[in-house]
Amino acid sequence: MLTAIIDYGSGNLHSAEKAFQRMAGEVNAGQVVVTSDPDVIAGADRIVLPGDGAFPACRAELFDHKGIFQAMEDAVVRRAHPFLGICVGMQLMASWGREYVDTPGLGWIKGDVVEIKPSDPKLKVPHMGWNNLVFDGDHPVLSGLVEGCHAYFVHSYHYRVEDPADLLAHVDYGGKLTAIITRENMIGMQFHPEKSQMTGLRMIANFLSWAP
């Protein structure tokens, strides 16, 4: 069993690598590697796409790295391997990113990534810190977690799904902000599970054991 965390030049992957390796050890999920090698991605059983920074820059990076996107799409879309997108890695699954300029996303789960505009103007943006999750559905990745558990967020844009059935969890911040989305073999988390202490580690373990 191999989990590939895709390195396409976006952000700090060290903590993600360590968190996934630790939980893979606990649930016997095999190896975890950080890689930008399309052959490794193509041969992986599970794929994790992280991402920090702006949507257009991350998308450009993903497509600039020769063969990464094709290998990822082949594994996730054609062969239905479990996929987890984190933060901007999740946002890239959208139809469109509306940060700075309109940028097409991968279109895996229909929706737009739009600016956070809290109804209360006193609320700060970025939405930064720990917020409690409200579950909108049931899913193996939430196994062992109770509603109200906290995850660590840091973002100024969020994913608005077209089909409410794709929304698995949200948080409240002067309105609803999307926290987890899922469809078939794909999951996206807006927060950082690798930075969300036991709640995040539990979700990582659940993802590593998930057999969609």
Partner 1 sequence: MLKTRIIPCLDVAEGRVVKGVNFVDLIDAGDPVESARAYDKAGADEICFLDIKATHENRGTMFDVARRTAEQCYVPLTIGGGVRSAQDVRDLLLAGADKVSFNSAAVANPDVIAEAANQFGSQCIVVAIDAKSVSEGKWEIFTHGGRRETGIDAVEFARTVVGKGAGEILLTSMDRDGTRAGFNIPLTRAISDSVSVPVIASGGVGTLDHLVEGVTLGGASAVLAASIFHFGDYTIREAKEYMAAAGIPMRLE
Known catalytic membership, residue 58 = no
* Other CB atoms within 10 A of residue 118 CB: 15
Residue span 132-151 as binding mask against partner 1, x where in contact by CB under 8 A, dash where not: x----------------xx-
Q: Which of 129, 137, 143, 147 binds partner 1 (CB under 8 A)?
A: 129
For partner 1, the closer CB: 139 or 150:
150
Does 195 participate in binding partner 1 (rule CB under 8 A)? yes
In terms of Cα–Cα distance, which of 202, 184, 206, 188 is closest to 81? 184
Known catalytic membership, residue 192 = yes
Residue 154 to residue 195: CA distance in whole angstroms: 11
Number of alpha helices (DSSP H) and beta strands (DSSP E) in the chain: 6, 14
In terms of Cα–Cα distance, which of 153, 51, 171, 46 is closest to 106? 51
Does 152 participate in binding partner 1 (rule CB under 8 A)? yes
Does 31 participate in binding partner 1 (rule CB under 8 A)? no
Q: Rg (Cα) of the chain, in Å, rounded? A: 16
Does 194 participate in binding partner 1 (rule CB under 8 A)? yes
One of 58, 149, 155, 194 is an active-site residue; which one? 194
Known catalytic membership, residue 115 = no
* Other CB atoms within 10 A of residue 19 CB: 21
Residue type, 190: Q
Contact by Cβ (8 Å): 196, 73: no
Contact by Cβ (8 Å): 40, 81: no
Does 130 participate in binding partner 1 (rule CB under 8 A)? yes
One of 17, 87, 149, 170 is an active-site residue; which one? 87
Q: Which of 34, 36, 37, 52 binds partner 1 (CB under 8 A)?
A: 52
For partner 1, the closer CB: 81 or 127:
127
Does 64 participate in binding partner 1 (rule CB under 8 A)? no
Positions in the binding site for partner 1 (CB under 8 A)? 11-12, 14-15, 18-19, 52-54, 57, 88, 123-132, 149-150, 152-156, 171-173, 192, 194-201
